[in-house]
Amino acid sequence: MTPSPRPNAWVVAVSACLIGLLTLGSSSFLTANTSLLPAGAMAPSARDRMIARQVGALLEDAHYSQQQIDDAMSSRVLDKFLDALDGQRSYFLASDITEFDTYRLRFDDMIRTGDIEPAYWMFARYQERTRQRIEYALELLDQEPDFSIQESFDFDRDNAPWSTDRAELDELWRKRVKNDSISLLLAGKTWDEAAEVLRSRYERVLTRGEQIKRRFLRFI
């Protein structure tokens, strides 16, 4: 007898649906506040809402599984969704996660009804935090780090606590930039050369975020 798929497969499917709509869908580009979304944020189109409903119906009606899209699944979907956005916990603040948690038991309803604005709102917050972090990282490159101070940087932050405030995130990113710099210095770069490489690298992160927005402008 073939075993039923693990519930986590459903979580991945719904999370992938949300991420896919955000990056590949036909979302509209807002010019004014709509519901949760800030001005200028991407908003789900009618097609996006339809796709979400279809995915929900497909998963619930699958003949090989008795799993239901319910509150338990909703909670896991939120965790998976946040992990897809910021798995290394380097952008969101703890206060952001607290806000997002108000929707923990509503992702199942969002998929059924197609009212997926909360997922877009979380993505808009992610873009905002990313922009803040990269702008700060670029500022740090204006001055060479003090390499005489011995300190460590934790690469694996999957289970790290979310930063409580911007000062804590600033410290995390200061160490990250210093670590990135050291890697390039060990490869034979001078500080000026390393700073230029990192500046280009960080600016590409900002560019990718803006490209997502510009991509959606074509569908207006």
Cα(138)–Cα(133) distance, integer angstroms: 9
**pTM listed for this prediction:** 0.81
Domain carrying residue 145 = 7-217
Q: Which amino acid, 62?
A: A
2 in any annotated domain: no
- List the alpha helices (DSSP H) in 4-116: 7-24, 46-61, 71-86, 94-100, 107-113
1 in any annotated domain: no
87 in any annotated domain: yes
190 in any annotated domain: yes
CB contact burial 138-151 (16+ within 10 A = b; e otherwise) = bebbeeebeeeeee
141 in any annotated domain: yes
The structural domain count of the chain equals 1
125 in any annotated domain: yes
Query: What's the pLDDT at 122?
Result: 92
Cα(215)–Cα(25) distance, integer angstroms: 10
206 in any annotated domain: yes
State the 10-residue block means of pLDDT for the chain, 220 residues long.
Answer: 44 63 56 65 83 76 59 86 92 97 89 86 92 97 95 91 97 97 97 98 85 43
Query: What's the pLDDT at 26?
Result: 53
210 in any annotated domain: yes
Give kind and range of the element (H or E) at residue 201.
Answer: helix 191-217
